[in-house]
Structure 1
Amino acid sequence: MAEALTLPEGYTHRPLTLADADRIAFVMGAEELADTGEVAIEAADLIADWSEPSYDLAAHSVGVLAPAGELVGYAEAYGADRGDASVHPDHHGLGIGTALARWIVARAGELGAERIGMPKPVGSPGDRLLGGLGWEARWTSWVLELPEGRTIPERPLPEGYAIREATGGDYEQAWDVVETAFLEWSVRERQPFDKWLHRVVARPGFEPWNLRVVTDPAGAVVGAVIVQLADEGREGYIDKVAVRRDHRGLGLGQALLAESFATTRSHGAVRARLATDSRTGALSLYEKVGMQVVQEWVNRAAATRGGVPG
């Protein structure tokens, strides 16, 4: 562990295990509810990350326990410059968040990262805490919603192109399309195929229709989208949508969105959402097809050398 946590009297800490996923999702969900008025996190999201074979959860995480023994906070340094931390609102104001921020910076440094960052809703207690500790804003992200009853205008596909449910033989091509597209603006290492496969196809609750592809006249995968159901099936969520660079400008992205949201509605969803950030330049494109911003987040980061200021 990077350093001992200075916690309020009676509070203790320990590394997390996979069995903690439900409780940590509850803690994160309570904080999301207080910050945004709704809950987005699911235990399946944590399990998909934590159960990846190469991921050492015990080495990358810490959980905070209240005097009665229940988990009320956590921090995690995933690797590279990605981290996360959360404290149940009932335990805010005790210095737990500050202690976790210091821990995550130190742990990320031990793991070889020069910076560590995490997203928080703009103006939330977490955002204000990190800003006060000297964490700098890197980029803004937005959650957009296609309200109930609305649809994205359909975009006819060029001749010979088709959208369909992915099969096992498409997975590697879909991974390549998504990773290549996102690495155009995201500064990180390329995610290995087996890790991507684990987090997408092996995610708890995955069904074949959740991964959709667009193929060109030769049958090659040139676009892909990852679709999930959230909020007990009432929401269709686009996790990733990507089109190969040499096939852009043909309306494939809009066609994928329209088809994917229609598919989630056929599975019971009444509204649709996705997220984008200021690095992509895609916000105006989603707004033009009728989506509305419902949440704004900021990604803040700190240098790991020398710890957290203040």
Structure 2
Amino acid sequence: MTATGASSPDSARASVQIALELPDDVGSLTVRPLARSDAAAVTALMAGCEQHDVGTVLIEEADIVGDWQRPAFDLAAQSVGVLDEDRLVAYAEVYKGRWADAAVDPRYRGRGIGTALSRWTRRVAARDGGTLVGQPVPGDSPGERLLAALGYRTLWTSWVLELPAGTAITPQPIPQGYAVREPRDDADLRAAWTVNEDAFLEWSERPRASFEEWAATVSRRPGYEPWQLRLMVGPDDEVVGMAFVIVSSGCAYVDKLAVRRDQRGRGLARALLVDAFEVGRAHGGERSELSTDSRTGALGLYEKVGMQVTSVWRHWAADAVDGDEPDRGR
């Protein structure tokens, strides 16, 4: 597996390891690339940050494992961990030279670790052919204030919404000839991927994800069962819409929702959403969640079915920076 950027880097650039340079006064902290065995530690780190910053935990280990098994992600070259003895206290990763994730244990903030991680992500993005790198952070959080101070800019706003436990799920009629079912075979999975990618690429500025990348976080995600992938099919049984539901800790999270452009305006998206709530509740998800952002224009749809905004996130980004170029951050 090789590091893959927004445009494929040549082998010489991909082989260059980017060192994380911590401030001199952080003590005996050590740095190393992450390994797959670190998934639980990264989950615990991110959960602690989420609890501290937004008051709830959104991450689970299967999210990390699914992301790390995407074919285009090289964990050894595109991740870094900061450890205090054997305990992971900070980490960062960069996917395809554009999409970063980073977290610092609240007890270790204020020491310049976050600034060092920012510098590292910008250099990794440049190495992998990217020109812009960024990540979502909770609104009005220490992470947001740090990125603003480092010269990052906001590109869009995201919202996490919840349908509280006990809320009545209003049935949504499905047009005659249409139905919702589970996938039956690989052809159904590929049809769902096509609908999903076509819909999201209408507004998302990124290369098309391969089927293998998509499947890594859907049908190959740890614990996946066919009932989680909801397919809206038309009179000819062709897949025209899809939703993907993850149930964890009593919450049904609607991770993906898409309807083919030529099939919109028939109530199919709302019917899929209601179906996702119902099937999630049937499998232990008493409350339901999803996220959307300002690029989609879908916030009103979710509020109309009784969902409530529980947290606000913003995507902050900065230019990738080659190692030889002076860092413009602080």
Cα deviation for residue 166 of structure 1 reads: 1.6
**How do 1:1-310 and structure 2 match up within 5 A?**
1-7=17-23, 8-66=26-84, 68-168=85-185, 169-230=187-248, 232=249, 234-305=250-321, 306=325, 307-310=327-330
How far apart, in 1, do the equivalents of 2:53 and 2:163 lie? 21
Structure 1 segments of 4+ aligned residues over 4 angstroms from their partners: none
Question: Structure 1 residues 96 and 249, CA, compared in 2 at 3 Å: closer, same or farther?
Answer: same
Does the CA contact (< 8 Å) of 1:181 and 1:245 recur in 2? yes
How far apart, in 2, do the equivalents of 1:273 and 1:183 lie? 23
Question: Structure 1 residues 26 and 308, CA, compared in 2 at 3 Å: closer, same or farther?
Answer: farther
Cα deviation for residue 309 of structure 1 reads: 2.8
Cα deviation for residue 308 of structure 1 reads: 4.2
Matched positions, count: 307
How far apart, in 2, do the equivalents of 1:265 and 1:245 lie? 28
1:133-152 residue CA offsets vs partner (Å, 9 max, x unmatched): 01101100000011111134
Q: Percent identity?
A: 48
How far apart, in 1, do the equivalents of 2:306 and 2:276 lie? 15
SS in structure 1 of the partner of residue 217 of structure 2: helix
Give the partner amino acid of 1:309.
Answer: G
Stretch deviating more after TM superposition (25-34 or 79-88): 79-88
How far apart, in 2, do the equivalents of 1:167 and 1:120 lie? 37
Structure 2 stretches lacking a partner, 5+ long: 1-16
How far apart, in 1, do the equivalents of 2:27 and 2:310 lie? 39
Stretch deviating more after TM superposition (4-13 or 30-39): 4-13
How far apart, in 2, do the equivalents of 1:25 and 1:292 lie? 26
Does the CA contact (< 8 Å) of 1:80 and 1:188 recur in 2? no
SS in structure 2 of the partner of residue 200 of structure 1: coil
Stretch deviating more after TM superposition (143-152 or 26-35): 143-152
1:85-125 residue CA offsets vs partner (Å, 9 max, x unmatched): 00111111111111111111111111111000101000111
Does the CA contact (< 8 Å) of 2:254 and 2:290 recur in 1? yes
Give the partner amino acid of 1:204.
Answer: P
SS in structure 2 of the partner of residue 13 of structure 1: strand
How far apart, in 1, do the equivalents of 2:287 and 2:150 lie? 37
Stretch deviating more after TM superposition (174-183 or 93-102): 93-102
How far apart, in 1, do the equivalents of 2:20 and 2:167 lie? 51
1:26-65 residue CA offsets vs partner (Å, 9 max, x unmatched): 1111000000111111111111111234421000010001
Stretch deviating more after TM superposition (26-35 or 193-202): 193-202
Cα deviation for residue 302 of structure 1 reads: 0.3
How far apart, in 2, do the equivalents of 1:308 and 1:210 lie? 45
Give the partner amino acid of 2:206.
Answer: R
Stretch deviating more after TM superposition (45-54 or 235-244): 45-54
